[in-house]
């Protein structure tokens, strides 16, 4: 890609032959021109996603119940209706797991092959196609699966790129505005989520699923147009390495992702045990071969390269020899004496080898946080199932069960300032220092209480009968869970970002989203247990969350924080 110098304010900024700037003007002190397009795009895209997600549980339940009814030919029994609800929940959480797993590939494609702008643009069109399929295939489980699959792929390209694209727009002169823009960015997410969760269920009730699924598609198309309109104003950071090497990186990563996660997580049920094992082995083997070809052209020092080198050195004794040599040198860093990364530190340098070790430390945190996400994302599934059994009339107006989850977005916007200006400072004044991991520990324990509240409420519903208990009682569990979200989600992102070296920050963000995916897989698996009533389902997750929070608290006591601000 040819480049030429361009100056608009007296400073030199790089512009490609197509007219796209690749670096911000260091002398610009105001808001970058591309920010309004990014914020507008994000508000529309989040409206699209959360609107579709709001009615997913209810609509899939209708489809699965209709399937069973067509087979049986008579009215469904209560247990059969509950099975239809569980099948809908299973499919809904598989979809959400895919939404948060595919960013691992989207990030690599954006960083190494296409760049963020082109990745967002092309996969936004896939996203739009997914909504179109939902709008025309809403009466078929297969049609819904295809549409949701396309949306998951599209989201995989968008999700890891958008927030990073925001940061790319700022240079040295206006870096002080980054915190403010992310506040607006987060506000746009909750703004879009709140209104779509209220509006889309109403459209579904009065105009049917075609319109309800179609409008989010229209909003997604508008989001894509808004993003395209800002193309001349954006900073387009070029992919690295791009070209043939970038293509090989993307292909090998896709194959390894499919073999290690994609096929076991999403296709094992359809391929059978033997089928998915064979498919996974073929994908992993081919992916490693492609990566070896890539390394033969030009060696890479990324996460995968260092991990594979370290595994090989561990098996052939190279690590042992390198560690022994490093121990003879008093100036050698700890990473050079590490039993697993010593050879990598010798080959790539201690700073580079430290990156994967930092990622592994952070992953030990993410593993337990996955349980939190298993609970949190149920406000779109099991909590909707609970609301359907309650009295939905509030102040003479009948709500839709799918609308209740709008409380989450509204509460987030209220609780963030309350925590930042009252709750956190109040605890600090009592002499208890709130580190990132301590906040997350409290948040995870709080989430367990949210499901205790849900289980107790379900017990009241079961005793009183359907349509007797007012739906506003769900406010209790939503408030508790939203407080947990603020303490875990926002703090977890901050923790992951600060504890990762600069070269590994994108990798860590990908694994953070993957922890959300694993949490949803856990829900999808447990949804298959027909013996679990909804009340017992809530109790199981309350117990799992309590156990995870205790283990997390122990881990937090021994974790040593690292400072990577200079990396």
pLDDT tens column, 420-431: 889 889 988 888
The SS3 call for residue 155 is helix
Report d(CA 379, CA 393) in Å as an integer: 19
Report d(CA 85, CA 67) in Å as an integer: 12
User: Has residue 211 been placed in a domain?
Assistant: yes
Report d(CA 133, CA 500) in Å as an integer: 39
My answer on whether 174 and 140 are in the same domain is yes
Report d(CA 265, CA 288) in Å as an integer: 20
Strand partners, 15: 4, 21
My answer on whether 26 and 120 are in the same domain is yes
My answer on whether 478 and 418 are in the same domain is yes
Query: Is there a contact between 478 and 485 (Cβ–Cβ < 8 Å)?
Result: no
Nearest to 95 by CA among 130, 125, 138, 135: 130
What is the CB neighbour count within 10 angstroms for residue 96?
A: 26
The SS3 call for residue 12 is strand
What DSSP character marks residue 21?
B
Query: Is there a contact between 125 and 224 (Cβ–Cβ < 8 Å)?
Result: yes
Report d(CA 66, CA 431) in Å as an integer: 58
My answer on whether 383 and 314 are in the same domain is no
User: Has residue 310 been placed in a domain?
Assistant: yes
Point out the domain boundary residue: 213, 240, 267.
240
Query: Is there a contact between 443 and 483 (Cβ–Cβ < 8 Å)?
Result: yes
Name the strand (E) or helix (H) holding 394.
strand 393-394
**pLDDT per position in the chain (567 positions), as tens?**
433 333 333 344 555 545 688 888 888 888 888 888 887 777 788 888 999 999 999 999 999 999 998 888 778 888 889 999 999 999 999 999 999 999 888 888 888 898 888 998 999 999 999 999 999 999 999 999 999 999 999 987 787 777 777 778 888 888 877 767 766 777 777 888 889 999 999 999 999 999 999 999 998 899 899 889 988 888 888 888 889 999 999 999 999 999 999 999 999 888 889 999 999 999 999 999 999 999 999 988 888 889 988 999 989 998 888 988 888 888 888 888 888 899 999 888 888 888 888 888 888 888 899 999 999 999 999 999 999 999 999 998 999 999 999 999 899 888 988 988 898 899 888 888 888 899 999 999 999 999 999 999 999 999 999 999 999 999 999 999 999 999 998 788 778 767 777 667 777 878 888 899 999 999 999 998 888 899 999 999 999 999 999 999 998 888 888 766 554
What DSSP character marks residue 238?
P
My answer on whether 453 and 307 are in the same domain is no
My answer on whether 208 and 115 are in the same domain is yes
Nearest to 223 by CA among 196, 256, 258: 196
- The 10 Å CB-count burial string (b at 16+, else e) for 165-179 is bbebbbbebbeebee
Angle between helices 141-168 and 178-207 (to 10 degrees): 160
CA dihedral sign, ordered 507, 510, 516, 522: negative
What is the CB neighbour count within 10 angstroms for residue 144?
A: 23
Strand residue runs (E) in 38-162: none
My answer on whether 464 and 561 are in the same domain is yes
Point out the domain boundary residue: 198, 225, 240.
240
Gyration radius (Cα) of the chain, Å = 25
Nearest to 165 by CA among 225, 246, 102, 230: 230
My answer on whether 317 and 214 are in the same domain is no
Query: Is there a contact between 92 and 57 (Cβ–Cβ < 8 Å)?
Result: yes
User: Has residue 293 been placed in a domain?
Assistant: no
Query: Is there a contact between 344 and 308 (Cβ–Cβ < 8 Å)?
Result: no
Point out the domain boundary residue: 240, 259, 282.
240
CATH code, domain carrying 155: 1.20.1250.20
pLDDT digits (tens, 9 = 90+) for 200-241: 999 999 999 999 999 999 988 998 998 899 888 888 888 888
My answer on whether 205 and 314 are in the same domain is no
User: Has residue 448 been placed in a domain?
Assistant: yes
User: Has residue 224 been placed in a domain?
Assistant: yes
Query: Is there a contact between 143 and 136 (Cβ–Cβ < 8 Å)?
Result: yes
Question: Could you give the number of structural domains in the chain?
Answer: 3
Give the CA distances from residue 254 to residues 169, 284, 516, 518, in Å, rounded to whole numbers and listed in that order.
28, 10, 19, 18
My answer on whether 339 and 409 are in the same domain is no
Tell how far CA 528 is from the center of its chain.
23
User: Has residue 410 been placed in a domain?
Assistant: yes
Q: What is the pTM of this model?
A: 0.88
Provide the CB-side half-sphere exposure for 103 (13 A, CA): 24
Report d(CA 354, CA 334) in Å as an integer: 9
Name the strand (E) or helix (H) holding 444.
helix 436-464
Domain limits for position 319? 298-348
User: Has residue 116 been placed in a domain?
Assistant: yes
Q: How many residues in total does the chain contain?
A: 567
User: Has residue 271 been placed in a domain?
Assistant: no
My answer on whether 320 and 387 are in the same domain is no
Query: Is there a contact between 439 and 491 (Cβ–Cβ < 8 Å)?
Result: yes
- The DSSP string of 459-508 is HHHHHH-TT-SBGGGHHHHHHHHHHHHIIIIIHHHHHHHHTS-GGGHHHH
My answer on whether 323 and 178 are in the same domain is no
Report d(CA 27, CA 19) in Å as an integer: 20
Give the CA distances from residue 521 to residues 34, 64, 91, 95, 253, in Å, rounded to whole numbers and listed in that order.
37, 20, 10, 9, 21
What DSSP character marks residue 104?
H
């Amino acid at each position: 890609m040819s480049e030429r110098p361009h100056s608009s304010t007296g400073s030199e900024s790089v512009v490609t032959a197509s007219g796209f700037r690749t670096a911000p003007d260091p002398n610009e002190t105001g808001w970058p021109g591309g920010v309004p397009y990014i914020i507008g795009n994000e508000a529309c895209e989040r409206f699209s996603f959360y609107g579709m997600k709001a009615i997913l549980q209810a609509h899939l339940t209708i489809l699965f119940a209709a399937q069973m009814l067509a087979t049986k030919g008579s009215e469904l029994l209560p247990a059969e209706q509950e099975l239809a609800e569980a099948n809908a929940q299973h499919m809904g959480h598989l979809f959400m797991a895919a939404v948060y797993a595919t960013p691992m590939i989207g990030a690599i494609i954006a960083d190494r092959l296409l760049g963020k702008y082109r990745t967002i643009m092309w996969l936004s069109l896939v996203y739009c196609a997914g909504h179109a399929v939902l709008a025309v295939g809403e009466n078929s489980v297969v049609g819904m699966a295809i549409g949701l699959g396309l949306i998951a792929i599209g989201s995989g390209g968008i999700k890891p790129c958008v927030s990073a694209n925001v940061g790319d727009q700022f240079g040295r002169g206006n870096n002080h505005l980054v915190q403010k823009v992310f506040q607006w960015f987060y506000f746009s997410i909750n703004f879009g989520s709140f209104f779509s969760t209220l509006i889309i269920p109403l459209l579904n009730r009065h105009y049917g699923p075609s319109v309800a699924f179609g409008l989010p598609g229209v909003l997604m198309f508008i989001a894509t147009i808004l993003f395209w309109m800002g193309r001349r104003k954006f900073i387009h950071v070029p992919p690295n390495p791009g070209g043939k090497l970038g293509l090989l990186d993307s292909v090998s990563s896709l194959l390894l992702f499919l073999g290690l996660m994609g096929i076991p997580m999403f296709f094992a049920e359809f391929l059978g045990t033997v089928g998915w094992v064979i498919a996974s082995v073929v994908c992993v083997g081919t992916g490693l071969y492609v990566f070896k070809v890539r390394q033969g052209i030009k060696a890479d020092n990324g996460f995968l390269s260092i991990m594979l080198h370290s595994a090989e050195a561990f098996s052939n004794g190279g690590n042992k020899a390198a560690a022994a040599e490093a121990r003879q040198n008093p100036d050698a860093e700890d990473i050079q004496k590490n039993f697993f990364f010593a050879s990598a530190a010798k080959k790539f340098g201690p700073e580079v080898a430290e990156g994967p070790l930092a990622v592994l430390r952070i992953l030990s945190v993410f593993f337990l946080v996955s349980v939190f996400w298993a609970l949190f994302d149920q406000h779109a599934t099991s909590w909707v199932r609970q609301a359907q059994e309650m009295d939905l009339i509030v102040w003479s107006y009948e709500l839709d069960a799918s609308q209740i989850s709008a409380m989450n977005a509204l509460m987030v916007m209220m609780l963030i300032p309350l925590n930042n200006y009252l709750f956190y400072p109040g605890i600090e004044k009592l002499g208890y220092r709130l580190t990132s991991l301590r906040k997350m520990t409290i948040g995870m324990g709080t989430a367990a209480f949210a499901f205790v509240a849900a289980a107790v409420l379900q017990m009241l519903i079961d005793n009183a009968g359907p349509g007797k208990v007012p739906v506003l009682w769900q406010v209790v569990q939503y408030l508790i869970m939203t407080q947990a979200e603020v303490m875990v989600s926002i703090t977890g992102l901050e923790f992951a970002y600060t504890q990762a070296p600069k070269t590994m920050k994108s990798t860590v963000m990908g694994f953070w989203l993957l922890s959300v995916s694993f949490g949803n897989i856990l829900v999808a698996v447990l949804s298959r247990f027909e013996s679990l009533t909804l009340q017992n389902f809530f109790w199981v997750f309350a117990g799992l969350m309590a156990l995870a929070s205790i283990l997390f608290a122990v881990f937090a006591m021994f974790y040593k924080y690292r400072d990577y601000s200079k990396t």
